[in-house]
Structures are given as structure tokens and as C-alpha cells.
Structure 1
């Protein structure tokens, strides 16, 4: 039939695109060059495939390739703000106690950093820079705290600013302490987030601080819900809550990461198993 060659091409394209989705789902990321070699087609053909798959909501484009969309949709800040509320408050209280009057600190977006910001209301004089609306709201009437908003493009789900404007502002500032949030965190790969623009910003934030903390309640430890990662500098501190299992803390301790476990009152606790006892600052 006259249209058989066209039909055959369509079937091959459809099959190739299904395989591209499978590969991206398996490996997390897929580059144009690797896919072109895998399927013995041109890079232009692969780019057209990726454009089709992205338009259909099956992949997310990245620089030079694509990545699979997570099977775990990103929750909005409004959905997350009440989750593990007591744990976040305890983490925030401990973190606030580390901040000295007169210091310059940088707070990430998120509900846990928002809890920290609330605890900082009585610290003055103090300079707080942030990319998060929760921090801005918590400190809006704390007149003795100097607040800098880094600006950028607002991600409505996370209620945080990202993008080149926020990154440019960071290049002109440095901080005594940086407090980062996380969708998840592992000892080997660092912070896991839903969007690569978030991980890029977190890496830049971590570089601008003398001391770096990751604030993450127990349910986030060792999880990998998304495919975007922020690598952390050596010497960072994980701050989590006392519901964390020893087995969840063990990989961080084995990697030489300082681990702080807090109760709801913001006091540092020791986990029940001394074999995975965290190293507390000053001990």
C-alpha cells in the first residue's frame, strides 16, 4: 500500500519513543548523544522525539537530554506544612540556637526553614537572607532583624525563588551559616529535589556559607523520590528528629557527616543504638 512506508516509520518512531521513556525511567537521565547512538539515528531525530515526549508530559527536558518524570508528584508547600509539625519545630529550635547575635545567615525555602525563621525573631541584631516566602512571612514584623530577599522566579509549589536573579544575588554575598531544606537527602548523593533549578540554587547556597546545615525530618532520610540532586560540600551537618531509625542514620555517620538528632523542644538527643550514635558539635 502507498502509505505503508509512512506507517512503518510511525511505528518505528513510536517504538523508539517508548524505549526512550523506559531508558530515562531506568537511569534517571538520558542524553541526546547516548540515545542517538543507542538507536542508530541522528541527534536531530532524538531531539524531535524528546520534544514530542515532553509535549505529551512523559519526560522533562534537561540541558542536553531529558529525564523521567517522577512517579512521586511534588507536594505543594501548603500540603507539606502540617506534616511532621512537631519534628520540624524541634529542628528549627535547635538550628536557631546555633545562630549567634550579629551573624549573617541564609535560609532556604520550605516549611522547616520557616520554622527556623520563626525562632529567629528574637535574635537581634541579625541579617537573614532568604529565597523562601515562609521565612519572609515569619520575619515580616521582626523589625530588629534585617531581611534580604534574593528574588528570582517564584516556584508556586515550593513558594521559593529560583533562577538567574537569585543566583546572581548569591554571588555577591557570603554567610556565617546556611540552612538548606530538602525533599529528601542521602549520604552519597546529597539533597534530592523535584526540579534541577532548585538543586542548582542549593549548591550555590552551600558554597556561600562557612557552616552548612541540611534540615530534614526523619521521613526524608535515604529517600530518592526525584531525579535532581544537589551535591554538598564536605563538612555539612544533617539535622533531623528523634523518630529517625538508627539504620537511617548509619549511612550518614559512616560517610563522616555530622548528625544532630533533636526532640520537639529543640534539644539534641542520642539515638537508642550506641553503634550509630551521632557526633554532636563540641563532642
Structure 2
């Protein structure tokens, strides 16, 4: 049954408001209507003063601000649990693992609480809280300047500590992922740190549920060295996943089961 146009337009607006830029092609595939129908929807929303037209799509006139870690913990809860469970299956006993900040990586830390003989280094306060006191985990914090919003450390002191370490695996979070630009975050210090974290690790994973794939909420981007793996969920736009694979990125659905290497 075709979705009523009024409801579709409201959902387009909500998607653009929460995820940033929305392209005509992605919206057409998501709502199973023609690109010309989406263009008419965007034109109407523009005329109503709700969206600003861009080349190939639209973005909200009042961009959604960066959510705090507390706000993010409750978002897409089941999807994040699925990503965390898959990621935990990749970790071998005796490895040195680097964990990013953020709610999804924090969910991974929870999955690692019962592990033994594991070295975990992190920039996230939530990961420190999850793993503090776990007898089988040797825990290291990369200090530096604390970002209040994300409750994670960054900046020159963080980078200095990182430069003296290497890791078997790194698990990164992201505000968004696109085939064209890479990983999106709220500022350039965050994206620089993610690039450095990836460069110090043998295996690189980005944990991002499907609503983040193809989104463009901010203007700071990280380009990760290949190869790396995107771990996502079944609702990710297939067009973006195809382009990511063509660009050399391994794409894994979170329910695919373990794929240890």
C-alpha cells in the first residue's frame, strides 16, 4: 500500500532534520516512489520554509544540533546492541583493542566485561565506566581534553599518547558514513583523531547503524586507510553500501554472525 503523500513528506522532513542532508536517490529508494515525486515533495517542503534545497536533495533550515552521549544512549538501542554483539565476536583473547568514544562503542565495552586476558585502550568515559574493575581486562585511558557532549577525550595530548601505541583492532563510532566522504563527526579534531586511531591498528571497524549510512549531519570528515570494515544494519541504503564496497570497504550486516580473522 502506497504511503499517503502528507505522511511521506513529514517523514522526509524528520529524516532530513535528524540525519542531515537527504538525497533524491536515497529518498526515492527508501519511500519506493519515483525521483520526480520526491522532487515535488522537496519543493513543497521548501515552499513551506521547512527545508533548504541543495544540489541533488535538501537539508533542514534549522540543522539538528549534536546530541549528547546521554541522549544517544537511548537511540536505536536494539541496533546498537546487535552491532556490539557482532563486534565482540571479532575480539580474540590476548589482543590489544582500541575503543572509540560514543554510545555504540560503549555497548561493545559492555559485551567485553566478562573477557579474560584482554588489553583495552579507550578515549571514552563510558567505556572506562563499563570496564573498570573487570578482572580480565587491563584498561588504559588516552587522556587529553574532554568533550562534554561526547564524554570522550581528544586533542594533542590524546594524539601524543596514541602515537606510542599500536593495536590489533580498533572499533570506531561515527555520526554518519558515506561512500563519497568517509566518516562524519561534529568537528575536525574528532575526525583527525579517528584517522590516527585507524592508522595505529591492524584491523579497523566502524560501527554505524543503518540510519547513519548516507547521512551528512556535519561538515567534518575522516578518510580511513583501506582496508576497513563497516558494521551496520539491514536498513542501511543499499546504494550507499554498493558504493562503499566498490571503494574497497568491507560491509558486514550485524546479524551476519562472527567473521574473525
TM-score when normalising by structure 2: 0.73
Deviation at 1:126, TM superposition (A): 0.4
Greater C-alpha radius of gyration: 1
**Post-superposition shift, 1:190?**
1.2
Task: Show the counterpart of 1:90.
Answer: 82
Could you tell me which residue of structure 2 aligns to residue 272 of structure 1?
A: none
Conserved 8 A contact 2:213-2:237: no
Secondary structure at 2:85 match in 1: helix
Indicate the residue corresponding to 1:226 in structure 2: 218
Residue 141 of structure 1, CA deviation: 2.5
CA distance in structure 1 between the aligned counterparts of 2:191 and 2:178, rounded to whole angstroms: 14
Asked if structure 1 preserves the Cα contact closer than 8 Å seen for 2:226 and 2:248, the reply is no
Which residue is equivalent to 1:258? 250
Preserved CA contact (<8 Å) 1:72 1:226: no
1:132-281 to 2 correspondence within 5 Å? 132-263=124-255, 267=257
- Measure the CA separation in 2 of the matches of 1:78 and 1:233: 31
94, 114, 119: which one aligns with 2:106:
114
What do you get for the CA RMSD once the two structures are aligned?
Answer: 1.8
Of 119, 130, 147, 1:127 maps to 119
SS at match of 2:94: coil
Hey, what does 2:50 align to over in structure 1? Answer: none
SS in 2 for 1:99: coil
1:76 to partner: Cα distance: 0.6
Higher relative contact order, chain-length normalized (CA < 8 Å, sep 6+):
2
Q: In the alignment, is the contact (CA less than 8 A) between 1:90 and 1:267 conserved in 2? A: no
Give 1:248 shift.
Answer: 3.5
Q: Which residue of 1 aligns with 2:21?
A: none
Unaligned runs of 5+ in 2: 1-61
TM-score (norm 1): 0.68
Tell me, what secondary structure is at the counterpart of 1:178? strand
Moved over 4 A (4+): none
Query: Could you tell me how far 1:137 is from its partner in structure 2?
Result: 1.1
64, 68, 77: which one aligns with 1:72: 64
1:123 CA displacement: 1.7
CA contact (8 A) 1:214 1:238 kept: yes
Question: 1: CA distance between counterparts of 2:75 and 2:257?
Answer: 20
Q: CA deviation at 1:144?
A: 1.6
The residue number in structure 2 matching 1:12 is none
Q: Secondary structure at the match of 1:100?
A: coil
Q: Deviations over 1:202-252 (max 9, x none)?
A: 111011000100000001001111111111001000001123242342221
Q: What are the superposed Cα offsets for residues 85-137 of structure 1, whole Å, 9 maximum, x if unpaired?
A: 11111111111100000000000000010011111112210000000011111
Q: Which runs of 5+ in 1 are unaligned?
A: 1-69, 269-279
How many residue pairs end up in the alignment?
201
